[in-house]
Amino acid sequence: AQTVTQSQPEMSVQEAETVTLSCTYDTSESNYYLFWYKQPPSRQMILVIRQEAYKQQNATENRFSVNFQKAAKSFSLKISDSQLGDTAMYFCAFMKQGGAQKLVFGQGTRLTINP
Amino acid sequence: DGGITQSPKYLFRKEGQNVTLSCEQNLNHDAMYWYRQDPGQGLRLIYYSQIVNDFQKGDIAEGYSVSREKKESFPLTVTSAQKNPTAFYLCASSISYSQTGANTEAFFGQGTRLTVV
């Protein structure tokens, strides 16, 4: 069974700083997808970034980028030039490619951006 | 507009009652999911379905039931057997591997807040 672990329950940084959220996962699969989702106070889940395991290049989306280390089973999210609107819960998630499509989430990291 | 709709937004249940949470999507997605979120915690998978008339138990299926009679709909019933049902419930859908040869991200509804009174 796949598991996803986020070891930082809470983080806090000043506006415009860079912050990195950690995520590790455990799987015996070779082909899979990893995601970071954001849940602001509205509680709407929003996809931040996605990484296919077969791609060596790290995904980037504007100020958001990941550091994907497949051998170490690590998938961290870096937020550059953080903004007040980045304040939210952030969830790391795993989905196997093909077969039983079970989307598994970590426990989440509560990120606060201070003015 | 394409999307996934959950209703109601707030639901109150008396002890011993069954209640059903609605989830509808018009994204033509095969896969649908139900998650439970407790305060300050992550999302725990209750049930998921990859195709009509088929569904699998997730990690915390006890006290819950689902049906998937139509592609667009995946209702969740919280039965009286669920001893601690007060939580936030999220429904999601995604394109399945069988549809395109690739998975995609899950799209979420806005959630239902269930409270036992």
* Residues A64-105 pLDDT 10s: 999 999 999 999 999 999 999 999 999 999 988 876 678 899
In A, minimum Cα distance to B95 occurs at A101
Q: Do A98 and B103 touch (CB under 8 A)?
A: yes
Q: Where are the beta strands (DSSP E) in B1-53?
A: 4-7, 10-13, 19-25, 31-37, 43-51
Q: Is B15 buried (19+), middle (13-18) or exposed (0-12) by CB count in 10 A?
A: exposed
Q: Do B105 and A35 touch (CB under 8 A)?
A: yes
CA angle B100, B105, B107 (to 5 degrees): 110
3-state SS, residue B53: coil
- Reported as a pLDDT band with limits 50, 70 and 90, residue A56 is confident
**pLDDT for B42-91, tens place per residue?**
899 999 998 899 999 999 999 999 999 999 999 999 998 888 999 999 99
